[in-house]
Structure 1
Amino acid sequence: MALALTSSLSSELKAPSVGAFQPLDRQFNNLTATINLSTRRAVKPLRAAAESRRSDSVAPLTATTFAAPTTEEGVKEEVKIVEEEENFEELAKELANASPLEIMDRALAKFGNDIAIAFSGAEDVALIEYAKLTGRPFRVFSLDTGRLNPETYRFFDEVEKHYGIRIEYMFPDSVEVQGLVRNKGLFSFYEDGHQECCRVRKVRPLRRALKGLRAWITGQRKDQSPGTRSEVPVVQVDPVFEGLDGGVGSLVKWNPVANVEGDNVWNFLRTMNVPVNSLHSQGYVSIGCEPCTRPVLPGQHEREGRWWWEDAKAKECGLHKGNIKENSENQNGSAQSNVEVADIFESDNLVSLTRAGIENLMRLEDRRDPWVVVLYAPWCQFCQAMEGSYLELADKLAGSGVKVGKFRADGDQKAFAKSELQLGSFPTILLFPKHSSQPIKYPSENRDVDSLLAFINALR
């Protein structure tokens, strides 16, 4: 934005609206040079279209003030300040072994008031604690979907009082929510997937929030979600959302605890004696909206408490959609055949069934022995999480007259498993009784040995 000031200018300049340049009130006399104010800042100026967007973002409601040059030489000289572009891939490598505190400090130091912590009401409180320990000012925002647990709302209040902060809440558009609910009901996500509801209640509010920032801080960890977060770097150019200046590459995403395991995060929270969501003591690990979150049961991965009716690949709401690599899984949601994945459920007391083997098992109407079979994918962390209990089950049933098997049901076998074997998501456990032509699907998500044995003994 170039502004020409001449000796004919006799009145004071009006201060522009929030988000634009605001020169100090000053009388300019006998100046004939042109001042290019756009060269006075170290980052790209906001486009005019961006001004109207900031009112609904988490951008601070203040305008940056710039002073005009005080000498004629200063007026004549064009000052060009270019922001040094940082290679965030190299920075991620540099900070790969850094502590969360060091990563947090670098983030806050670099972006100041243009960065904010995304707080979900779960263990993200660790991020707030790290930010406090840096001694730097920091900002926190959260998405209120309107469907959070009461415990989460009370936790928000505790966090604000404990740290003496105000969380900057973002809300979904009421017209969009009204349209969704009127057209499809309150619980349509159980039937057609959670993505549409999350898009209205979470993704779009987040998009508005991030357009007021140049960077954001998340609580993503590599061990959180199967197939989607295993390669999360500690810092990256956000692959999905845009920041304050708009366009690709305008937003930086920091993940200070990416390399920290969940147990260590909780050790930190207990050590620092910070408030935590009371839902955690009820078995909740990953906490989201009330209808889509439930406690994690024995033998389950922590992310199985979210959207439990869907496949592993779907367990992102869209806030971190960039984690999902299209080339890492095929359209069936299973690993590509050219990617070698170590097999699981290996035991002398367990039979590995081929497609022909399980088809033969299905055709038998009068089996000599009952069978229990797990339909699995070795890349699925939910399957990996129950491996120990299933192997223990095989050991306990050895010599009991019940055969224990496994059938790899991903890739080319997934369509068959869905149509013939009741596969809904991985893992699926089936019991083939002695005198029944149809397998019986284990209905519970509780996969500890005692629960599995109770199911088998009730039907054998």
Structure 2
Amino acid sequence: MALSASSPSSSFLRGSFSSHELKAPWIHSVRLLDQCSVPRDSYCRKFLVKPICAEQKISDSVVPLAATLVAPEVEDRIETEDYEKLAKEMEQASPLEIMDKALEKFGNDIAIAFSGAEDVALIEYAKLTGRPFRVFSLDTGRLNPETYQFFDTIEKHYGIQIEYMFPDAVEVQALVRSKGLFSFYEDGHQECCRVRKVRPLRRALKGLRAWITGQRKDQSPGTRAEIPVVQVDLSFEGMDGGVGSLTKWNPVANVEGQDIWNFLRAMNVPVNSLHSQGYISIGCEPCTRSVLPGQHEREGRWWWEDSKAKECGLHKGNIKQEEVAQLNGNGNGAEPTNESDRVTDIFNSQNLVTLSRSGIENLARLENRREPWVVVLYAPWCRFCQAMEESYVELAEKLAGSGVKVGKFRADGEQKAYAQQELQLGSFPTILFFPRHVASPIKYPSENRDVDSLMAFINALQ
């Protein structure tokens, strides 16, 4: 969607705010709203029973700072929202309209993910709506000096404080000690990104019901060509927990990169000084370089890897596999019909035991096990299995050396009938705990598959 000077969105920018509104007082990143303009409606997600309009929870997942204002009070009125339908309705909407809708719906329970690159446009759009907004960023500890300087510039320009999320120091220390500072050049960036970016993001999103990203369709043709302006995020969980508890908004999904830059220049918005040095897509210093004229912007990210799948894990749901199942109305993955064995396996970790059919049969038969086991019954093509991969691998890391074995059993294909009859498989993923002195496994009953919930389940049964 081009943002030319004569486009409807440009008119919207010029004419949406009266002189009275522009003189309204500002507090940090937002101006006070007249009481008559405060939205009174709240919405529920399509995939959960619980309304998002429930009483606000205090969470330290994202540390509340000065940029955070309390959202307007809302009525406890339940309304369901079909985000696929909403995405179609807003496909031609301007980024400002999309941003306004997102902030109106979720108030203080939504935040902008700011990476220090050109998605500063999101902050500008949020400011133009006149609504309260929050901004968070992932400080991996390996960003360019120019990016840190840019964070400071943005905070001063907008009068806000960005809510920074940091990786776990123990995890970073373990990774560096065992594999060195630059292991990603040898075995891929996923492990480092998981520790420095994905897990901090997971913690941040557990304190929200929605987040706003700067994803655009033209950023990465291999992974982002079909992103909608709003979607249910199946890769992460929000504060209510469970599948479907988080919504992702992509206000600039349909905007081309050049139009973003036209907007930034028109609004006199500060930008990262690295852009003038040939950097377009900016990440961590060791994994980002400038691009040559004519090269795609993502060529500067993880340049030593496959250019068709350049995602760090923050938007893992964008990566498609030919056999990824369509979701049916029961929230269960429909098994692929052809060549399912070719799907790349998941839950790969040295702390996880891969169980064969005979292995899990023996485990199920034991009445006096020496060690308790937790086992996931999974199918690698299932989106819900993929969504819990990070948390299950982290669970295995936490339980390493504890006396609890962590395993996985692929229960699709020819193993599915056995798993349904003997292992309580209902849908993927199914998590079973095999206690030390009890013959029958105990099925994990919740859709909350974060590490803390799984640990609580295991600790309660030991």
Shorter chain as normaliser: what TM range? 0.5 to 0.7
* Pairing of 1:267-278 with structure 2 (within 5 A): 267-278=262-273
Match of 2:248 in 1: 253
Match of 1:96 in 2: 91
Match of 1:326 in 2: 321
* Pairing of 1:16-95 with structure 2 (within 5 A): 43-44=53-54, 54-58=59-63, 81-95=76-90
Specify which of 153, 156, 163 is matched with residue 161 of structure 1.
156
CA contact (8 A) 2:222 2:309 kept: no
Q: 1:41 to 1:238 in 2, by over 3 A?
A: closer
Distance in 2, Cα, partners of 1:320 & 1:313: 14
Distance in 2, Cα, partners of 1:64 & 1:258: 26
Which sections of structure 2, spanning at least 5 residues, go unmatched?
Answer: 1-49, 325-462
Match of 2:394 in 1: none
Deviations 1:150-172 (A, max 9, x none): 00000000000000000000000
Aligned partner letter, 2:234 = P
What is the deviation of 1:83? Answer: 2.1
Which sections of structure 1, spanning at least 5 residues, go unmatched?
Answer: 1-39, 67-79, 330-460
Find the residue that maps to 1:314 and give its secondary structure: coil
Does residue 114 of structure 2 align to residue 116 of structure 1?
Answer: no
Distance in 1, Cα, partners of 2:91 & 2:221: 21
Does residue 301 of structure 2 align to residue 291 of structure 1?
Answer: no
Does residue 135 of structure 2 align to residue 135 of structure 1?
Answer: no
Distance in 1, Cα, partners of 2:76 & 2:118: 40
Q: 1:162 to 1:59 in 2, by over 3 A?
A: closer
Deviations 1:320-352 (A, max 9, x none): 0001112279xxxxxxxxxxxxxxxxxxxxxxx
CA contact (8 A) 1:115 1:215 kept: yes
Q: 1:87 to 1:59 in 2, by over 3 A?
A: farther
What is the deviation of 1:43? Answer: 3.4
Distance in 2, Cα, partners of 1:315 & 1:272: 30
Aligned partner letter, 1:207 = R
Q: How many residues get paired?
A: 274
Match of 1:11 in 2: none
What is the deviation of 1:313? Answer: 3.1
Deviations 1:196-217 (A, max 9, x none): 0000000000000000001100
CA contact (8 A) 1:219 1:258 kept: yes
Q: 1:42 to 1:323 in 2, by over 3 A?
A: closer
Q: Any runs of at least 4 consecutive aligned residues in structure 1 with deviations exceeding 4 A, and if so which?
A: 58-66
Q: 1:189 to 1:231 in 2, by over 3 A?
A: same
Find the residue that maps to 1:297 and give its secondary structure: coil
CA contact (8 A) 2:69 2:108 kept: no
Distance in 1, Cα, partners of 2:79 & 2:211: 19
CA RMSD of aligned residues (A): 2.7
Deviations 1:120-146 (A, max 9, x none): 000010000000000111110000000
Distance in 2, Cα, partners of 1:99 & 1:190: 40
What is the deviation of 1:56? Answer: 3.2
Find the residue that maps to 1:117 and give its secondary structure: strand
* Pairing of 1:204-223 with structure 2 (within 5 A): 204-223=199-218
Distance in 2, Cα, partners of 1:327 & 1:245: 31
Find the residue that maps to 1:270 and give its secondary structure: helix
Distance in 2, Cα, partners of 1:309 & 1:255: 28
What is the deviation of 1:244? Answer: 0.8
Specify which of 98, 120, 127 is matched with residue 125 of structure 1.
120
Find the residue that maps to 1:312 and give its secondary structure: coil
What is the deviation of 1:85? Answer: 1.5
CA contact (8 A) 1:58 1:210 kept: no
Larger Rg, first or second structure (1 or 2): 1
Distance in 2, Cα, partners of 1:210 & 1:177: 20
Distance in 2, Cα, partners of 1:64 & 1:101: 19
Aligned partner letter, 1:43 = C
CA contact (8 A) 2:113 2:212 kept: yes
Aligned partner letter, 2:94 = S
What is the deviation of 1:45? Answer: 6.4
Q: 1:94 to 1:273 in 2, by over 3 A?
A: same
Distance in 2, Cα, partners of 1:151 & 1:179: 28
Aligned partner letter, 1:152 = T
Specify which of 212, 230, 238 is matched with residue 225 of structure 2.
230
Aligned partner letter, 1:146 = G
Find the residue that maps to 2:80 and give its secondary structure: coil
Specify which of 309, 329, 334 is matched with residue 304 of structure 2.
309
Match of 1:200 in 2: 195
What is the deviation of 1:312? Answer: 1.7
CA contact (8 A) 1:114 1:213 kept: yes
Distance in 1, Cα, partners of 2:63 & 2:314: 16
CA contact (8 A) 1:59 1:114 kept: no
TM-score (norm 1): 0.56
Find the residue that maps to 2:218 and give its secondary structure: coil
CA contact (8 A) 1:226 1:312 kept: no
Distance in 1, Cα, partners of 2:84 & 2:51: 25
Aligned partner letter, 1:262 = G
CA contact (8 A) 1:42 1:81 kept: no
Q: 1:303 to 1:42 in 2, by over 3 A?
A: closer
Distance in 1, Cα, partners of 2:174 & 2:241: 29
Aligned partner letter, 1:211 = K
Distance in 2, Cα, partners of 1:191 & 1:128: 36
TM-score (norm 2): 0.56
CA contact (8 A) 1:211 1:242 kept: yes
Match of 2:234 in 1: 239
What is the deviation of 1:84? Answer: 1.0
What is the deviation of 1:227? Answer: 1.2
Match of 2:396 in 1: none
Aligned partner letter, 1:195 = Q
Find the residue that maps to 1:156 and give its secondary structure: helix
